[in-house]
């Protein structure tokens, strides 16, 4: 194993470390939490490298697009994922799952990415369309023709899809969403990693039951060494079954690792897509001319979704931890420093995105898809294909079937300073 020693990152012109003495920025400030885009955009312009010192946390922040893409996310051995994607300093590190570093991370993701290929998206498409159709039909039948669009459409579409992908009963979607929300809340708001154990005690029996049911299918078929040939034949075409036939480091996943795959998909595949849907619908309806234009030009659905991801990333920032001292922009960062890299700031880089502080519906795809909302390189989001599929299917269905969709009040954001989405989105339709 190669020893990691002090790392130096060359100092670009005008990028030296700045603090509150230069520019006041607090990610937990109520005004910033309420409307993060302008605050993160200003930070990126004025202080692309910043040291935040708050009452609860302190960490460094980079908002530089190229630095985030090329030096933080591109398999940099200095900046580790295994100490958690959160501002608090974990006492122990993760050695399995999403929160790991290469080379294990690459092998783990390669095993799971088989469930996110274009062929798998074609398999998921009819079910996603059926879920969206069921939800829209339910809205059309409502006598009051109004409600909170988060609860009525934006939450159940990805939550039911995730149940389908894990091979679970879609009637459990509300439980799945609650479990995901509570796990994410613990990740970002509780400094004791063991605090999740009470919640795990509720979740684990459910998923272990699904795992055991698939093991019984293999036993009934007399199969001791399952392969990918058994996925979708002897076993269902779901992610738990994929885990059972996959290998990592030359071995099979054990039961706890299979359970961790379930929780990773549970947390990663719901809140972010729900927020993507609430954000894009909100931005379209807050300026009615946008909604009218999309109805007239439905071919812009994909552009609009990607612009929403750029302009309103469902997760505004991620975190890494330094494995050695780092010389960065004229500052000496000690080992185990926390670095927050701001996608919301990077996504508004005027050198990458012209007119970055405007929501541009027809921003060219070859430009807008350069956003960093799904990460980059070795840590590119595993679930990006299904999130895009759900958003495109859902938005097209809304444009076709609810053409008179409109806001009836102000949205209310979700209760998180890291996640960005709307918990209340009051709408009406005819």
Number of Cβ within a 10 Å radius of residue 312: 24
Distance from CA of residue 160 to its chain's centroid? 17
CA distance 135 to 429: 14
CA distance 165 to 394: 17
Which pair of tokens denotes residue 365?
């795809």
CA distance 386 to 400: 21
pLDDT at 238: 96
Which pair of tokens denotes residue 310?
């750029």
pLDDT at 2: 42
CA distance 234 to 242: 12
> CB within 8 A of 271, min separation 6: which ones?
180, 181, 184, 314, 414, 419, 421
pLDDT at 146: 98
pLDDT at 86: 85
pLDDT at 166: 95
CA dihedral 221, 223, 228, 229 (to 10 degrees): -50
User: For residue 327, which of 64, 18, 7, 71 has the smallest C-alpha distance?
Assistant: 7
pLDDT at 269: 80
Distance from CA of residue 402 to its chain's centroid? 27
CA distance 379 to 106: 9
pLDDT at 253: 92
CA distance 120 to 127: 12
Q: What pLDDT tens digit does each residue of the chain (430 aa) get?
A: 444 555 555 555 457 899 999 999 999 999 999 999 999 999 999 999 999 999 988 999 999 999 999 999 987 889 988 888 888 877 666 677 777 888 888 888 999 999 999 999 999 999 999 999 999 999 999 999 999 999 999 999 999 999 999 999 999 999 998 998 888 777 666 545 566 778 888 899 999 999 999 999 999 999 999 999 999 999 999 999 999 999 998 999 999 889 989 988 888 888 899 999 999 999 999 999 999 999 999 999 999 999 999 999 999 999 999 999 999 998 999 999 999 999 999 999 999 999 999 999 999 999 999 999 999 988 899 999 999 999 999 999 999 999 999 999 999 999 889 999 999 999 999 9
pLDDT at 12: 52
Q: Spell out the long-range contacts of 360-368 with Cβ–Cβ below 8 A and sequence spacing 24 or more.
A: 360/307, 361/290, 361/293, 361/294, 361/300, 361/303, 361/304, 361/307, 362/297, 362/300, 362/303, 363/303, 363/306, 363/307, 363/310, 364/303, 365/302, 365/303, 365/306, 368/303, 368/306, 368/307, 368/310
pLDDT at 3: 47
Distance from CA of residue 201 to its chain's centroid? 25
3-state secondary structure string, the chain?
A: CCCCCCEEECCCCCCCCECCCCCCCCCCCHHHHHCHHHHHHHHHHHCCEEEEECCCCEEEEECCHHHHHHHHCCCCCCEECCCCCCCCCCCCCCCCCCCCCCCHHHHHHHHHHHHCCHHHHHHHHHHHHHHHHHHHHHHHHCCCCEEEHHHHHHCHHHHHHHHHHHCCCHHHHHHHHHHHHHHHHHHHHCCCHHHHHHHHHHHHHHHHHHHHHHHHHHHHCCCCCCCHHHECCCECCCHHHHHHHCEECCEECCHHHHHHHHHHHHHHCCHHHHHHHHHHHHHHHHCHHHHHHHHHCHHHHHHHHHHHHHHCCCECEEEEEECCCEEECCEEECCCCEEEEEHHHHCCCCCCCCCCCCCCCCCCHHHHCCCCCCCCHHHCCCCHHHHHHHHHHHHHHHHHHCCCCEECCCCEECCCCCECCEEECEEECC
CA distance 158 to 271: 8
- CA-based torsion, 108, 112, 114, 117: positive or negative: negative
């Amino acid at each position: 194993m190669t020893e990691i020693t002090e790392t130096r990152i060359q100092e670009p012109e005008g990028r030296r470390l700045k603090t509150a003495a230069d520019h006041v920025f607090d990610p937990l400030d109520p005004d910033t939490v309420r409307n993060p885009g302008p605050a993160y955009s200003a930070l990126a312009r004025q202080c692309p490298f910043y040291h935040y010192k708050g009452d609860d946390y302190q960490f460094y922040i980079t908002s530089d697009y190229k630095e985030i893409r090329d030096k933080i996310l591109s398999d940099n051995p200095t900046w580790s994922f295994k100490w958690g994607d959160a501002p608090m300093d974990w006492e122990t590190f993760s050695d399995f799952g999403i929160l790991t570093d290469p080379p294990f991370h690459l092998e783990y993701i390669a095993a799971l990415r088989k469930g996110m290929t274009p062929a798998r998206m074609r398999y998921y498409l009819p079910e996603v369309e059926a879920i969206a159709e069921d939800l829209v039909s339910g809205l059309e039948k409502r006598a009051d023709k109004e409600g909170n669009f988060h609860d009525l459409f934006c939450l159940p579409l990805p939550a039911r899809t995730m149940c389908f992908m894990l091979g679970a009963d879609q009637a459990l979607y509300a439980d799945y969403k609650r479990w995901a929300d509570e796990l994410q809340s613990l990740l970002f708001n509780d400094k004791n990693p063991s605090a999740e154990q009470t919640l795990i005690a509720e979740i684990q029996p459910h998923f272990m039951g699904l795992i055991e049911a698939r093991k019984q299918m293999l036993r009934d078929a007399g199969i001791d060494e399952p392969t990918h040939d058994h996925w979708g034949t002897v076993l269902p075409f779901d992610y738990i079954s994929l885990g059972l036939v996959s290998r990592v480091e030359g071995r099979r996943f054990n039961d706890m690792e299979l359970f961790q795959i379930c929780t990773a998909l549970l947390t990663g595949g719901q809140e972010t897509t729900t927020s993507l849907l609430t954000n894009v619908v909100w931005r379209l309806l807050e300026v009615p001319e946008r909604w009218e234009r999309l109805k007239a030009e439905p071919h812009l659905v994909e552009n609009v979704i990607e612009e929403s991801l750029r302009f309103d990333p469902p997760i505004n920032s991620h975190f890494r931890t330094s494995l050695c001292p780092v010389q960065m922009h004229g500052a000496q960062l000690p080992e185990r420093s926390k670095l927050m890299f701001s996608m919301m700031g990077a996504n508004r880089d005027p050198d990458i995105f012209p007119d970055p502080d405007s929501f541009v519906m027809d921003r060219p795809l070859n430009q807008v898809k350069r956003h960093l909302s799904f990460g980059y390189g070795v840590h590119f989001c595993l679930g990006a294909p299904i999130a895009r599929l759900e958003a495109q299917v859902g938005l097209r269905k809304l444009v076709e079937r609810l053409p008179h969709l409109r806001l009836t009040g102000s949205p209310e954001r979700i209760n998180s300073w890291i996640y960005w989405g709307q918990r209340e989105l009051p709408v009406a339709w005819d």
